[in-house]
Amino acid sequence: MPDPVPTEPGVFLLSLDTELAWGYFDYPRHVRERIFSSDGSRERRAVRRLLDLFRDYDIQATWSVVGHMFHASWEEDPSDPVMTWRGRYDSFDEIYGTSHPLWYGPDVVEAIIAAQPKHEIAVHGYTHRPLGEGDVGPQDVRRELEAWQRVAERWGIHGQAMTFPRNRVGNLHVLRELGIRSYRGRTRLPWIARVPVLGKVLNRLDMYLQLYPPRLQPIPDPIAECPVDLEASYWLFGMHRALEERLDALGLSLVRMHRVRAAVRRAALRGQVLHLWAHPWEFRTDADFAKLAYVLEEVRIQREAGRLLPMTMTALVEAVSARRHTESTG
């Protein structure tokens, strides 16, 4: 069955959970030492290379930044949630009273702000503490997000989009009350992936075989209540890393990107949204950047044909809101 003729272009979203070591605050130190460079230099090179790539392809991305990264060093605050980590997580000793480059990153924020084209800086929590209903209560969520807003406002940043730490979505009414207009929802898996036992097996196999294709979603309805769910379509590094590195060594690094590139075309032809996401630190090798460039090349082709618009999360919500206003006054 042929794809329907879209009434408007599709949309390409790319969100990046920018967190340095904060994503592993509750892991043992030896795990962080295995994943990250000792001084944050590799992670910063990845950010710079991504910004260069986005410049070359004229892509505006949504960079969701952990709030503590706005600080140059520890700022004494008895209400800081990190204060409860003393004696609980060994990360406390790396954060408290230091300017450790894996935990503080104003230079990263500055690079994103200075880049062209202009990118969006969004909310990713103040400490990367999971913020879903099963993790914390609404008041804790409010404290985390208000702390993020206070430090971001020093930079003139008013985050209107959010990606939840560890993708644990919840407490959406708090986002609404604080003026956050959209969030990246979890990918809705096919029904078979939710079948007991069988689903667990398939989900495990998906890490190795990439069984599920990127999922598209319709352009948000103009009357959708904020915050709008801009569902994740595909995690760029969802494949088991050891297997991916093996494919890269065999010269097959682009094989699984074929289906992502095909999803770009589908989004363009159907007038739907494709939302890719990743962590900047996950881009470690030339092959990793080549995979993204391979996808962005298709984005450029479809954009030049007038069938696809690369946007930030907030830009999409604003475009939908503008359409609602036009339709109501037209």
Q: How many CA atoms lie within 13 A of 146 on its CB side?
A: 11
Residue 2 has pLDDT above 90, yes or no: no
Angle at 259 between CA 254 and CA 263, to 5 degrees: 130
Q: How far is CA 172 from the centre of its chain?
A: 17
Residue 65 has pLDDT above 90, yes or no: yes
Give the pLDDT confidence score for residue 7 in this predicted structure: 65
Tell me whether residue 201 is in a domain: yes
Tell me whether residue 5 is in a domain: no
Of the two residues 247 and 183, the one the predictor is more confident about is 183
Confidence of residue 249 (pLDDT cuts 50, 70, 90): very high
User: What CATH code is carried by the domain that includes residue 196?
Assistant: 3.20.20.370
Cα distances from 255 to residues 11, 268, 300, in angstroms, run 24, 21, 20
Residue 222 has pLDDT above 90, yes or no: no
Give the pLDDT confidence score for residue 4 in this predicted structure: 53
Give the pLDDT confidence score for residue 204 in this predicted structure: 67
Residue 271 has pLDDT above 80, yes or no: yes
pLDDT digits (tens, 9 = 90+) for 19-51: 999 999 999 999 999 999 999 999 999 999 999
Tell me whether residue 184 is in a domain: yes
Tell me whether residue 251 is in a domain: yes
Residue-number span of the structural domain to which 204 is assigned: 10-329
Tell me whether residue 47 is in a domain: yes
Mean pLDDT across 168-197: 86
Tell me whether residue 3 is in a domain: no
Q: Which two tokens stand for residue 130?
A: 């999971």
Residue 286 has pLDDT above 80, yes or no: yes
Q: How far apart are CA 263 and CA 214, in angstroms?
A: 6
Tell me whether residue 179 is in a domain: yes
- Give how many domains the chain has, as a whole number: 1
For residue 112, count other CB atoms closer than 10 A to its CB: 22
Residue 6 has pLDDT above 90, yes or no: no
* 3-state helix/strand/coil string of the chain: CCCCCCCCCEEEEEEEEECCCHHHCCCCHHHHHHHCCCCCHHHHHHHHHHHHHHHHHCCCCEEEECHHHHCCCCCCCCCCHHHHHCCCCCCHHHHCCCCCCCCCCHHHHHHHHHCCCCCEEEECCCCCCCCCCCCCCHHHHHHHHHHHHHHHHCCCCCCCEECCHHHCCCCHHHHHHCCCCEECCCCCCCHHHHCCCHHHHHHHHHHHHCCCCCCCEECCCCCCCCCEECCCCEECCCCCHHHHHHHHHCCCCCCCHHHHHHHHHHHHHHCEEEEEEECHHHCCCHHHHHHHHHHHHHHHHHHHCCCEEEECHHHHHHHHHHHHHHHHHC
Closest to 296 (Cα-Cα) out of 283, 42, 231? 283
The owner of tokens 């644990």 is: 168
Mean pLDDT across 255-277: 96
Q: How far apart are CA 69 and CA 127, in angstroms?
A: 9
Does residue 276 contact residue 311 with C-beta atoms inside 8 Å?
no
Give the pLDDT confidence score for residue 315 in this predicted structure: 97
Give the pLDDT confidence score for residue 3 in this predicted structure: 54
Beta bridge partners of 82: none
Give the pLDDT confidence score for residue 92 in this predicted structure: 98
pLDDT digits (tens, 9 = 90+) for 135-152: 899 999 999 999 999 999
Give the pLDDT confidence score for residue 196 in this predicted structure: 72
Mean pLDDT across 111-124: 98
Residue 182 has pLDDT above 70, yes or no: yes
Give the pLDDT confidence score for residue 278 in this predicted structure: 98
Q: How far apart are CA 303 and CA 322, in angstroms?
A: 21
Give the pLDDT confidence score for residue 152 in this predicted structure: 98
Of the ranges 154-168, 210-224, 236-250, the best mean pLDDT one: 154-168
Confidence of residue 208 (pLDDT cuts 50, 70, 90): low
Q: How far apart are CA 187 and CA 71, in angstroms?
A: 32
Mean pLDDT across 87-115: 98
pLDDT digits (tens, 9 = 90+) for 153-175: 999 999 999 999 999 999 999 99
Q: How far apart are CA 278 and CA 43, in angstroms?
A: 13
Give the pLDDT confidence score for residue 192 in this predicted structure: 64
Mean pLDDT, the chain, whole residue set: 92
Confidence of residue 193 (pLDDT cuts 50, 70, 90): low
Does residue 83 contact residue 91 with C-beta atoms inside 8 Å?
no
The lowest-confidence range among 31-40, 177-186, 209-218, 227-236 is 209-218
Confidence of residue 255 (pLDDT cuts 50, 70, 90): confident
Q: How far apart are CA 225 and CA 176, in angstroms?
A: 9
Mean pLDDT across 264-279: 98
Tell me whether residue 4 is in a domain: no
Q: Which long-range contacts (CB under 8 A, 24 or more apart) does 248-255 make?
A: 248/285, 248/287, 253/287, 253/290, 253/291, 254/290, 254/291, 254/294
pLDDT digits (tens, 9 = 90+) for 291-309: 999 999 999 999 999 999 9
